[in-house]
């Protein structure tokens, strides 16, 4: 039976994999939640929107005769990864998580590791700082309680309603970002603290490299724990994985 892949996307690795799969003319669909207005152009057919929980995903997998699932979602997309694990286990469909290693603190880095978003909020309880919140849009509301800071917000889309911060600037920009631009951004706004997820990969790393060069403090949010499944860090390795996991008749 010919493979028919579902790739859960939304990351640079998913984009790299899509190019590899398209070149091999393997049947595949690239899936997005539909979180932002514009999705990067892709060489594979796309589907956009939730599946309706793990049951909805199971129905999708069966209806579309999916033979393999590659979970190439962001390391913080924990719910999607959980649903993929549950659905693939129930249907005995091979699942591979394509992810990227965590960023590692260098001796000269000024990082404070925190366990999750709530702990990052608590870390901002002190005196007024100039903070870059480089965590996107979905969790901004949790920081509203700390009005003492100036905030530099980096968002993919222009917010529909103004964020409820007393003193902020919104930078509307989607990655991947460059170190040069992030250094300029941090210096322009005289930023002295960055809140970031330990996303790994290159697409969001620019601010971390910029903070390293400028000696800026980073509140680094550790990744959520994801279900144990086979993992690869290299899009190219997915082809070998497919060979070792042939599509069942
Ligand atoms: C919808 C559409 C590619 C994918 C590119 C990567 C890199 C650029 C860096 C900062 C950090 C952040 C955010 C970020 C990056 C890549 C990747 C990555 C971080 C797009 C995309 C979708 C999303 C969703 C969006 C979240 C938000 C997070 C912004 C596409 C552009 C902060 C994560 O407004 C919203 O609702 C935004 C939601 C989830 C986190 C949040 O809580 O707000 N990503 N980002 C995907 C979907 O609908 O399924 O893929 O084209 C994709 C990318 N964003 O092909 O090159 O691989 O990580 N995305 C973080 O790391 O903290 C920005 O500003 O420094
Ligand atoms: P999440 O919290 O793990 O998932 C919430 C719900 O969104 C899921 O249960 C599912 O809805 C839907 N969903 C998530 N990813 C999907 C996908 N690729 N295709 C179809 N439905 C999807 O996810 P998230 O953190 O909001 O991330 C959403 C998307 O943004 C993902 O594609 C992720 O790769 C991308 N992204 C996220 C981050 C981040 O910081 N979280 C960063 C960069 C990119 P149903 O339950 O209805 O199926």
- Closest ligand 1 atom to Cα of 32: 49
Share of the chain above pLDDT 90, in %: 96
pLDDT per position as a tens digit, 140-184: 999 999 999 999 999 999 999 999 999 999 999 998 899 999 999
Query: What per-residue confidence (pLDDT) applies to 15?
Result: 96
pLDDT per position as a tens digit, 29-73: 999 999 999 999 999 999 999 999 999 999 999 999 999 999 999
Tally the domains of the chain.
2
Block residue for tokens 């000696």: 215
Same domain, 115 and 48: no
- Is residue 240 in some structural domain? yes
Block residue for tokens 């366990």: 115
CATH number at residue 137: 3.40.50.720
Q: How far apart are CA 177 and CA 181, in angstroms?
A: 7
Cβ 18 under 6 angstroms from ligand 1: no
| SS3 assignment, position 46 | strand
Query: What per-residue confidence (pLDDT) applies to 93?
Result: 97
Cβ 111 under 6 angstroms from ligand 2: no
Cβ 139 under 6 angstroms from ligand 1: yes
User: What is the overall mean pLDDT for the chain?
Assistant: 96
pLDDT per position as a tens digit, 219-245: 999 999 999 999 999 999 999 999 999
To test the ligand 1 pocket, which listed residue (6, 7, 10) has its Cβ within 8 A of the most ligand atoms? 10
What is the 3-class SS of 51-87, one letter each residue? CCHHHHHHHHHHHCCCCEEEECCCCCCHHHHHHHHHH
Same domain, 117 and 216: yes
Same domain, 130 and 193: yes
- Is residue 84 in some structural domain? yes
Residue 166 domain boundaries: 111-221
In terms of Cα–Cα distance, which of 17, 45, 96, 81 is closest to 224? 81
**128: confidence class by pLDDT, cuts 50, 70, 90:** very high
């Amino acid at each position: 039976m010919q493979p028919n892949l579902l790739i859960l996307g939304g990351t640079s690795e998913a984009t790299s994999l899509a190019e590899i799969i398209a070149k091999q003319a393997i049947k595949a669909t690239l899936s997005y939640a539909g979180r932002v207005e514009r999705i990067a152009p892709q060489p594979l057919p796309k589907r956009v929107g939730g599946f309706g929980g793990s049951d909805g995903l199971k129905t999708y997998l069966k209806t579309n005769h999916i033979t393999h699932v590659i979970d190439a979602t962001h390391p913080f997309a924990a719910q999607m990864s959980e649903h993929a694990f549950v659905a693939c286990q129930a249907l005995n469909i091979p699942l591979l998580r394509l992810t990227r290693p965590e960023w590692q603190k260098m001796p000269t880095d000024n990082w404070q590791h925190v366990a999750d978003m709530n702990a990052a909020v608590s870390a901002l309880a002190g005196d007024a700082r100039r903070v870059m919140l480089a965590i996107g849009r979905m969790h901004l509301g949790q920081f509203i309680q700390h009005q003492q800071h100036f905030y530099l917000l980096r968002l993919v889309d222009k917010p529909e309603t103004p964020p409820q911060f007393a003193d902020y600037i919104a930078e509307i920009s989607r990655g991947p970002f460059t170190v040069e631009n992030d250094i300029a951004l941090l210096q322009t706004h005289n930023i002295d603290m960055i809140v970031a997820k330990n996303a790994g990969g290159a697409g969001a790393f620019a601010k971390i490299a910029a903070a390293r060069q400028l000696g800026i403090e980073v509140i680094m949010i550790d990744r959520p724990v994801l279900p144990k499944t086979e993992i690869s860090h290299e899009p190219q390795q997915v082809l070998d994985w497919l060979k070792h996991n042939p599509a069942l008749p």
